[in-house]
Structure 1
Amino acid sequence: MSTGAESAGRVRRWLRLGLASLAAEMLLLGLPASAASAWFFDWFPFGRGWIAATGPYHEHVIADLGYAYVGLGAVLVWAAVRPGRELGRAAAAGAAVANVPHLIFHLRHAGDLPTGEAAAENALLALAVVVSVGVLLSAGKLSPTGE
């Protein structure tokens, strides 16, 4: 039988992993989108052009999205380094607020890509939603002091 401290330790490890994976998602999207928006628009992911398939390029929109993702990524990194109840919940909620409508948009526009590409894109987006919600729920299991 596990003690409360062991249980809190498992939850904290899950939070670190989940928050770090969400931070990686945001930073892997945000850094290139903000620093090289035209390249990101045409290239992402790995030369497949998923973003370019959705409509015309607009530097301001792509760069601003990148800045927002970098900002959220910074909060997620902070939460992964110091996982606690309130910061973990806030960071995960921010990721969920970004990821859920992103997934809904792409589900509604799945015809913009070939079927296999759309399935891969939507599976990755759905995974981000599941991790976001899982981290949000798990963070609530910690006591307010993080124990």
Structure 2
Amino acid sequence: MAGVLAFLAAVLGVWAGGFPLSFYNDFPIAGWHWVSLLGPYNEHLVRDFGATMLALLVFTVWAWRTPTVEKLRVTGWAWLVFSVVHFLWHMLHLGVFTTAHKVGNVIALALILGLAVLLVVPDRKDDIKGHS
């Protein structure tokens, strides 16, 4: 779980932080416009999202590479705080999307939220042994 979240944070963080206009126009793939449909371009906002992802990446890699139950739970809570707010905002702004893109948004955001929840749940022994 931590490994998947780290990968997602790296991709999103580098893309939004380093190439904010491309992220705005092309996320999740060219032609889908999941970000640009939600309002005018704001470089500061997109770069801040990228920076948030990169900060979560650092934290997640640290917990994943030297795992303890406590580190994985705290990392899960950090992701959960971000993911709940992000998920709820997007659920309230799905009206601009086609049905297929609404479903895609919900699935993508729920996946990250679900992975965060899994890091928070009590038994993390398998993650500590296997570096999920």
TM-score by length of 1: 0.80
Deviation at 1:142, TM superposition (A): 5.0
| Structure 2 letter corresponding to 1:110 | L
Mapping 1:42-121, distance limit 5 Å: 42-47=25-30, 48-121=32-105
Note if 1:32 corresponds to 2:33: no
| CA distance, structure 1, for counterparts of residue 61 and residue 124 of structure 2 | 19
Instruction: Give the distance between the partners of 1:118 and 1:25, measured in 2 at CA.
Output: 20
- Tell me how far apart the structure 1 counterparts of residues 13 and 35 of structure 2 sit (CA, whole Å): 13
Give the percent of matched residue pairs that are identical in Structure 1 and Structure 2: 27
Q: How far does residue 86 in structure 1 lie from its aligned partner after superposition?
A: 1.3
Structure 2 unaligned blocks of 5 or more: none
Provide the rounded CA distance (Å) in 2 between the counterparts of 1:20 and 1:91. Answer: 12
The code of the aligned residue for 1:43 comes to D
What is the rounded CA distance, in whole Å, between the counterparts of 2:71 and 2:116 in structure 1?
Answer: 13
TM-score by length of 2: 0.89
Partner Cα distance (1:93, 1:25) in 2: 17
Structure 1: give runs of 5+ residues left out of the alignment.
Answer: 1-17
C-alpha deviations, 1:35-67, integer Å up to 9, x for none? 010111001111111000100001111111111
Q: Which residue of 2 aligns with 1:124?
A: 108
* Cα distance change, pair 142–58 in 1 and its aligned pair in 2 (3 A): closer
Runs of 4+ in 1 over 3 A off after TM superposition: none
Deviation at 1:78, TM superposition (A): 1.3
